[in-house]
Structure 1
Amino acid sequence: MTKSLKRLLMMNVSSSVIFNYMGIFINLFIWEKNRQIFDVAWFNLILFLAWGLAFMYGAKLLAQFNISSVMRASAICAGITFVLLSYVHVEPKVFYLSLIALPVGITNGLYAAAQNIGISLFGKGEEFTAFFSATNVFGQLIAFLNPLLFAILIKWIGFSGSFLVMFLFIAIMIVMSFYVPRISLKDAGEAVFSHFSIGRVFNTTRLKWMIPSLIAGGFFIQFQGIFSLIFTFSVTSDKLMIALLQIMYTAFTVVCVFIYQRFSRTRRVSDSWWLTFGMLAAAAGFLLALFPKPPILILSNILTTIGLFFFFTIWSSRQFVATNHLAPIHQARVMVWRELLLVCSRIVMLALILGITDFKGFVFKAVMIFSFSSALLIPYFSNKSGEVDVSE
């Protein structure tokens, strides 16, 4: 790898520590205040609303600035998040949750714009393959170590102390942002948001099938994402046990990686079969959640984690294949629409989850069945978007 890619890798590592912490421990911090599903759902709803708007603004910024500037802005917003968490405690509760969620969403949205759009323009050679392989390895290490280390840290010095520690990683992000490759959309020749209607961006049959696939995928990802956390928080209030459960789920993901890679090399099992298997595993996990006992909730999380891995691996790769041949500016527009469709469907799911008070009520069962149905439709939509249309 070149020096620039190594620096970009360091940026990804430091940001992954922050995003992993935000995904687990800020949600836990909110949950522990009242142990209400509404609080976590509202926080995430505002987060994704801010995420979508920040992603669009980040895409616009990339026409004027490079990814290093956008990543630096993301790091600054992360710093604002931890300042608010440390020093601001206001009422009413909904306002406080919104106040915390806004900078978290902006942090994620800006970084996702820089990462997804900027990196797609950088190249696709062997060096870039090595970069993504290294990113994946470090990502798995962070998923293993980060929850455990911060759980121990929180037990030792409390949430406030852990918020201060996060400023170290924010500082690393800011420093590394000055050294990442100077990628931007300046040379694209036209603005991202010109010719931006959904019909003009998804202008082939193959691309059009991505739209329902993204919407259904957003429903599934959000339901699995929020309830995997809430189920875990419901099983135990011990932060170390929560961290160990998160590590266990990551371990199942790593096992799935090895199994998938071994069978994909020989092509004995098709990607369509893996996608269907993943959705069935997720569906089984959803059904088990109807019996909310601690061991069953853990098993539910294991099955939905396995399902999410196979879904995300096949689903994402097919989308990459469908957009890989596009001009850079067209690919950027697809990326922005992709993020917006995912964010909108996730917000709809979170709005439905706001009405859930427990795991036994009618609302939970209705939302679960809706997510279950969406999951089962994904293989069909993904297969259609993965088909080659010779007329195109």
Structure 2
Amino acid sequence: MSHALRKWLVMNLMSYTIFVYVGIFVNLFIWEKNRLISEVAWYNLLVYFSWSFAFAAAAYLLTKSTVRLLLGISAFSGGSAFLLLSFVELDNRMLWIAMIGVAVGVMYGFFSAAQNLSVSMSGTSAELGRYFSAAASIQQAVTLAVPLLSAAIIIYFGYSGTFALMLVFLVVMLAFSFAMPGKSMRSGTGPSTARWLWQELLRKPGLRWFSASNLAAGVFLQFQQLFLLLFTFSVTENKLWIAALNGLYTLATLGGLFVYRKFSLKDSTFLTMGCLLIASGFLIVLVPAKPVLIVSNLLTAVGMFCFGAAWNTLQFKWIKPYPEAGQAKLLVWRETLICVTRIGTLLLVMSVDNFRSPLFVALIGVSVLCLLAVPYFEYRAKKTLEPDAPKVGIPPGLEPE
């Protein structure tokens, strides 16, 4: 593995620690005040709204500067979010939540762009495979450890103790960003991004199915991510129990990884399996019992791994054959499409007041339909791929069919 990719693994260790904490405990911190679904949805809506713009801005900045600037902006934005959580509380709670959401979204967007664009330009296919495999292992370890350690710190020192610890991690992340490879992309002389995308969409029918798949995925990805947390918060607000349940979901995901590698299933089979598990998890929450919410989360956690492993492989096969500038444009397009339907879903979720309301049931129905549409869209996109399209470097054991 190249020296540049090894540095990205170190950066991933720091960033995953921050992102796992934010994904659980910032949402819980907002939820605990009034226990309103609308407040958590409002926070997440601003996260993804700012994420989409930040990703596009970062891709543009990478033509003028290097990934070091993107990582620095990401760390600075994350630090701003924790300073707001630690020292600021406005009378207008929705404005305060919005400020936090925007800061977190910019952090996510700039880091995601820096990593995706930089890694896509680094190393051979074999090196990328080893990198993704190692990064996945780090993520699973962090997902198990960080919630338990954070819960223990919150119990003894309060949220302020973990906010301070995350600020330390962000300072280290900022310092380490100066040691990262100075990757950048030269601005091309071709057509604008909008015109280029329009030409590609007209010229390549498979890219239209690729786009439809991202739009459909955004709906159920947001539904699953948000309600996995809210279902857990509804079962218990004990920090250690929440951490333990998230550890249980992670262990279930590792079970999915074992099945994937053990049986070497085709991408289409694994994608379908993931969709069925997620759909089952969505539908059983209509049974009014708290243990059912945990079972739902277990099913969707394993299903999301199955789905993500197959779906991302199929999607990346569309992006990898393009030159660097084309990859950047397609990655921005992909992030924008996913964020658009995430935001639309969250706008509807803001009107949900409980898990038995007609709107919630309707959201489940729409999410299941979108979920089941993805394998069809991917099948149609795959049928249009050129036979000589280059293969994508992915982790050992996760090869495309």
Aligned mates of 1:208, 1:270 — CA distance in 2: 23
Superposition pairs for residues 202-281 of structure 1, below 5 Å? 202=201, 203-264=203-264, 269-281=265-277
CA displacement 1:223-277 (0-9 Å, x = unmatched): 000000000000001000000000100111111001101111xxxx422121111
> Structure 2: which 5+ runs fail to align?
390-401
Structure 1 residues 196 and 9, CA, compared in 2 at 3 Å: closer, same or farther? Answer: farther
Aligned mates of 2:3, 2:120 — CA distance in 1: 18
Task: Kindly indicate whether the alpha-carbon contact (under 8 Å) linking 1:63 and 1:191 is maintained by their aligned counterparts in 2.
Answer: no
Residue 126 (structure 1) shift? 2.7
Aligned mates of 1:228, 1:328 — CA distance in 2: 36
Task: Kindly indicate whether the alpha-carbon contact (under 8 Å) linking 2:4 and 2:122 is maintained by their aligned counterparts in 1.
Answer: no
State the SS of the aligned residue for 1:209: helix
Aligned mates of 2:215, 2:96 — CA distance in 1: 29
> Structure 1: which 5+ runs fail to align?
none
Structure 1 residues 318 and 192, CA, compared in 2 at 3 Å: closer, same or farther? Answer: farther
Give the letter aligned to residue 220 of structure 1.
F
Residue 80 of structure 2 corresponds to residue 84 of structure 1: no
Aligned mates of 1:285, 1:221 — CA distance in 2: 13
**Aligned twin of 1:107:** 107
Structure 1 residues 206 and 164, CA, compared in 2 at 3 Å: closer, same or farther? Answer: same
Give the letter aligned to residue 343 of structure 2.
I
**Aligned twin of 2:348:** 352
Residue 191 (structure 1) shift? 7.3
Superposition pairs for residues 16-95 of structure 1, below 5 Å? 16-95=16-95
Residue 201 (structure 1) shift? 4.0
Superposition pairs for residues 184-203 of structure 1, below 5 Å? 184-186=184-186, 188-190=187-189, 193-194=192-193, 196=195, 198-202=197-201, 203=203
Residue 3 (structure 1) shift? 3.3
Structure 1 residues 390 and 3, CA, compared in 2 at 3 Å: closer, same or farther? Answer: closer
Residue 382 (structure 1) shift? 1.3
Superposition pairs for residues 303-314 of structure 1, below 5 Å? 303-314=299-310
Give the letter aligned to residue 49 of structure 1.
F
Residue 380 (structure 1) shift? 0.4
Aligned mates of 1:254, 1:124 — CA distance in 2: 27
Cα RMSD (Å) of the superposition? 1.6
Aligned mates of 2:4, 2:274 — CA distance in 1: 36
State the SS of the aligned residue for 1:258: helix
- Correspondence for 2:333 among 329, 337, 342: 337
Task: Kindly indicate whether the alpha-carbon contact (under 8 Å) linking 1:205 and 1:389 is maintained by their aligned counterparts in 2.
Answer: no
State the SS of the aligned residue for 2:98: helix
Aligned mates of 1:291, 1:151 — CA distance in 2: 30
Residue 278 (structure 1) shift? 1.0
Residue 358 of structure 2 corresponds to residue 362 of structure 1: yes
State the SS of the aligned residue for 1:132: helix
Residue 375 of structure 2 corresponds to residue 379 of structure 1: yes
Structure 1 residues 192 and 357, CA, compared in 2 at 3 Å: closer, same or farther? Answer: farther
Task: Kindly indicate whether the alpha-carbon contact (under 8 Å) linking 1:7 and 1:176 is maintained by their aligned counterparts in 2.
Answer: no
Aligned mates of 2:190, 2:157 — CA distance in 1: 48
Aligned mates of 2:113, 2:189 — CA distance in 1: 18
Aligned mates of 2:344, 2:244 — CA distance in 1: 31
Moved more, 41-50 or 272-281: 272-281
Give the letter aligned to residue 56 of structure 1.
A
Task: Kindly indicate whether the alpha-carbon contact (under 8 Å) linking 1:319 and 1:386 is maintained by their aligned counterparts in 2.
Answer: no
Residue 304 (structure 1) shift? 1.1
Residue 80 (structure 1) shift? 0.6
Aligned mates of 1:217, 1:114 — CA distance in 2: 23
The number of aligned residues is: 387
Percent of pairs with identical residues: 38
TM-score normalised over the length of structure 2:
0.93
Residue 321 of structure 2 corresponds to residue 322 of structure 1: no
Give the letter aligned to residue 342 of structure 1.
I
Residue 377 (structure 1) shift? 0.8
Task: Kindly indicate whether the alpha-carbon contact (under 8 Å) linking 1:90 and 1:96 is maintained by their aligned counterparts in 2.
Answer: yes
Moved more, 282-291 or 338-347: 282-291
**Aligned twin of 1:165:** 165
Task: Kindly indicate whether the alpha-carbon contact (under 8 Å) linking 1:219 and 1:349 is maintained by their aligned counterparts in 2.
Answer: yes
Aligned mates of 2:255, 2:141 — CA distance in 1: 14
Aligned mates of 1:378, 1:194 — CA distance in 2: 26
